[in-house]
């Protein structure tokens, strides 16, 4: 438990933007998806959809954040820059994880947001 006064060893800082974003993503139930813009909005950063993508890319490996449940506004898995570690294999993985949760993709690789959107 924390001391009653003073910063103590760990300085209590307001939650960073990333943490707030991760926090929201953690709330997305299994079998559901949310868009980047939606997550940003829920996190209190209405126009920061891009930062959500950035925050996802910055996730540590063993995190419990279900990053795969975040898709773009068209209801599809966003394309990565095409490079970097993992790179596009992450796209496949994301889709596989979603399908494993029961999220359906149509022939064009899109998800029906009316049906699977969180909330």
Partner DNA sequence: TTTATGGCTGTCA
Partner DNA sequence: ATGACAGCCATAA
Return the SS3 of 33: strand
| Of residues 5 and 11, the one with the C-beta less far from DNA | 11
| Of residues 2 and 74, the one with the C-beta less far from DNA | 74
Using CB under 7 A, list all residues that contact DNA.
16-18, 35-38, 45-59, 67-68, 70, 72-74, 78-81, 84, 90, 94, 108
CB 103: neighbour CB atoms within 10 A? 21
| Of residues 8 and 109, the one with the C-beta less far from DNA | 109
Residue 71, beta-bridge partner list: 35
Return the SS3 of 71: strand
Question: Least distance to DNA from the beta carbon of 114, Å?
Answer: 14
């Amino acid at each position: 438990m924390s001391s009653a006064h003073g910063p103590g060893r760990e300085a209590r800082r307001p939650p960073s933007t990333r943490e707030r974003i991760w926090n929201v993503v953690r709330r997305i139930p299994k079998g559901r998806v949310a868009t980047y813009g939606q997550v940003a909005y829920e996190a209190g950063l209405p126009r920061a959809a891009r930062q959500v993508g950035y925050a996802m890319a910055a996730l540590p490996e063993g995190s419990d954040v279900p990053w795969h449940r975040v898709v773009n506004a068209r209801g599809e898995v966003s394309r990565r820059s095409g490079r970097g570690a993992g790179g596009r294999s992450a796209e496949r993985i994301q889709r596989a994880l979603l399908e494993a949760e029961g999220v359906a993709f149509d022939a064009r690789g899109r998800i029906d947001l009316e049906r699977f959107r969180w909330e």
